[in-house]
Structure 1
Amino acid sequence: MTPRQAFDALYESCAPALVRQTYLLTGRRQLARESVERAFQQAWEHWPEVAVDPDPGGWVRAAAHDWALSPWHRFLPRHRRPEPQPADPADRALLHALLTLSPPHRRTLLLYDGVGLGLPEAAAETQASTPVTAARLLSAREALTALVPDQAAPPVLRRRLSELATAQPLRASRPPTVRTRCERRTRRWTAAAVAFTTAVVGATTLTLRIAQDHYERPVARGREIRDLPPRVAAGPLSEEQLELRAVLESLLVRGPERLVPEAR
């Protein structure tokens, strides 16, 4: 098969069940569909790696669960709006009990009792040790026993999880739609990266052109000069000073001391 055909086959076989599993993990239909779609978009971006993985479905499931349990979703307005609850009271009680568990306990319970993984496989997918995974599973079952005792027994819980997931109106997008959105998003990110790189190169070039290529000593700050004599305004001349000025002016104009250039 071509990569597109192999991706479409993986999507058709895993996406519907994965949307229902993610709904049990989050309790939100829109977030479940979005998480599965983003997980398959990541799979298409890394298809050479996913295609040779021993368990491609597990690769996509881990990516979908990681995205669904991301704490950033609580800041998005579309994920803060309330969604319709299950119509059956037993389903509502079970979903509420699941959502009261912490995300690691809820995920471990879903992988073991909902998906059917063993403890080592669930531990590897949740990046925890096997003893920690076993402790999380026991703690989650004890919490469910306290909240919904009639649905917490392991055989009953597996059946009830399946019934709760299949009773919801959940559907996944078509494979070509997922691939198209992934390729469009990749082109946008590539264009943004090129634009950012161009801006950085342009700013660096401009800085090199206008930057100084030699050292200029900074101008020292001026200092105030102190201890100068005060400025005295000129007053009227005395009689002696007036006579002296008259004598000097007459000598400069008509006296023999005046220098006159001579032609030679």
Structure 2
Amino acid sequence: MTQSPATPLPPPEERRRLREAGSLTQAQVAERVGATRETVRAWESGRTNPRGRKREAYAKLLDSLAEVEVTAAPQVEPTPEPEAATAPLTPAQAFDALYAFCAPALVRQSYLLTGRRELARESVERAFQLAWQRWPEVAVDRDPAGWVRATAYEYALSPWHRFRPRFRHPEPPPADASDRALMDVLLKLPPPYRRTLLLYDGVGLDLPETAAETEASTPAAANRLLHAREAVATRLPALADPVELHRRLAELASTERLRAAKPPTVRTGSERRARFWTRAAIAFTVALIGTTALTVRTAPTHYEPPVAPGAEIEGVPPRVAQGALSAAEAELREKLRGGMTSGPERVFPLSR
């Protein structure tokens, strides 16, 4: 008996992309194919592959998502020149595509990390400005979206923001009571725990990817995740289920109307900051060169020995400054001041 060939599946990266393009969560995909969310996460990371009926159901779902994507794509008239259709993207176009794909969701994630709307937008803009400055490095990175996400998270969680006057006072909390409670629990978690929880239960990364992005070992990331879930479940028992926690995190991030700047604005700001720091470095270098030249100009060119102390000349001792009186000298001075100033009494002869 020959075994029928397995249903073909796209690569793991394409599986995840199709799910995100269809606006589906891992929990929704798991419900449709009859699996768990952790299993779907393993399929998308490439650690495991589905088998049997689940493989067929998963393949049909991905095919339907691909067909919807093709149908929803705008129909473009073919150009007469075939080489124009295959022309590679310019760096600016590639950057704009990455920004349009990542920035909206990344702003909402940064808001969950900080609880500040303005800081969330600023973090994403700074991360993409740095990405544009290092675009040759970011463009060939294995995961450009992860590179930008890690940079935005690092900037958002920087402890130096507390010293900025604009961020000393808290922003208004969400309007809904349940959203306020969840945000309060998140902000009371230590920053590494909060970041791990958001990456695993919010973004949907697996444990090794979460550990790599947070620069921790896999056991340490698992420990942070367990403690963060325990803290959330203690305050909000309804969120003890990871699936429900994932849904609530997505809802909380979507309730705030957070908008990122346009890609050309971010690129222009990046170039402006690069010019500013370049000019500042040039000015500092010129000032350093000028200071060095002035020091060389005014420094002595030969050795000048110090003035020798006074020496005795023809038996005359050198003139020295009067120092402090000793105890005996002070006592003598007081005795002289208290004595008679007109001298001793004169002796006169007696007359007989």
TM-score (norm 1): 0.84
Percent of aligned pairs with the same amino acid = 68
Structure with bigger gyration radius: 1
Q: Which residue of the partner structure matches residue 306 of structure 2?
A: 218
Say whether 1:95 aligns with 2:174. Answer: no
In structure 2, the gaps of 5 or more residues are 1-88, 320-352
Q: Which residue of the partner structure matches residue 179 of structure 1?
A: 267
**Aligned mate of 1:136, from 224, 244, 250:** 224
**Aligned mate of 1:167, from 238, 244, 255:** 255
Distance 2:116 2:91 in 1: 31
Secondary structure class of the residue paired with 1:171: coil
Distance 2:271 2:101 in 1: 22
* Aligned-partner residue type, residue 58 of structure 1: G
Q: Which residue of the partner structure matches residue 120 of structure 1?
A: 208
C-alpha change, 1:226 and 1:43, in structure 2 (3 Å) is same
Q: Deviations over 1:153-207 (max 9, x none)?
A: 2000000000000001211000011111111111111111111101111111111
C-alpha change, 1:89 and 1:227, in structure 2 (3 Å) is closer
C-alpha change, 1:227 and 1:60, in structure 2 (3 Å) is closer
**Aligned mate of 1:65, from 153, 159, 162:** 153
Distance 1:65 1:178 in 2: 18
Q: Deviations over 1:228-256 (max 9, x none)?
A: 9xxxxxxxxxxxxxxxxxxxxxxxxxxxx
Q: Which residue of the partner structure matches residue 119 of structure 2?
A: 31
Distance 2:93 2:318 in 1: 96
Distance 1:81 1:3 in 2: 39
Higher relative contact order structure (alpha carbons within 8 Å, sequence separation ≥ 6): 1
C-alpha change, 1:223 and 1:73, in structure 2 (3 Å) is farther
* Aligned-partner residue type, residue 205 of structure 2: L
**Aligned mate of 1:192, from 280, 284, 308:** 280
In structure 1, the gaps of 5 or more residues are 229-264
Secondary structure class of the residue paired with 1:162: helix
Distance 2:110 2:292 in 1: 47
**Aligned mate of 1:16, from 79, 100, 104:** 104
Q: Please say if residues 194 and 228 of structure 2, whose CA atoms lie closer than 8 Å, have aligned partners that are also in contact.
A: yes
C-alpha change, 1:227 and 1:159, in structure 2 (3 Å) is closer
Distance 2:308 2:245 in 1: 83
Q: Please say if residues 186 and 194 of structure 2, whose CA atoms lie closer than 8 Å, have aligned partners that are also in contact.
A: yes
* Aligned-partner residue type, residue 148 of structure 1: L
TM-score (norm 2): 0.63
1:130 is displaced (CA, Å) by: 0.1
Secondary structure class of the residue paired with 2:308: coil
1:213 is displaced (CA, Å) by: 1.4
Q: Deviations over 1:58-103 (max 9, x none)?
A: 0000000000000000000111122121111110000000111000
Say whether 1:155 aligns with 2:243. Answer: yes
Alpha-carbon RMSD across the aligned residues, in angstroms, is 1.5
Q: Deviations over 1:100-134 (max 9, x none)?
A: 10000000000000000000000000000000000
Q: Which residue of the partner structure matches residue 78 of structure 1?
A: 166
Q: Please say if residues 311 and 317 of structure 2, whose CA atoms lie closer than 8 Å, have aligned partners that are also in contact.
A: no
Distance 2:110 2:186 in 1: 12
Distance 1:145 1:220 in 2: 83
Q: Which residue of the partner structure matches residue 142 of structure 2?
A: 54
Q: How many residues align?
A: 228
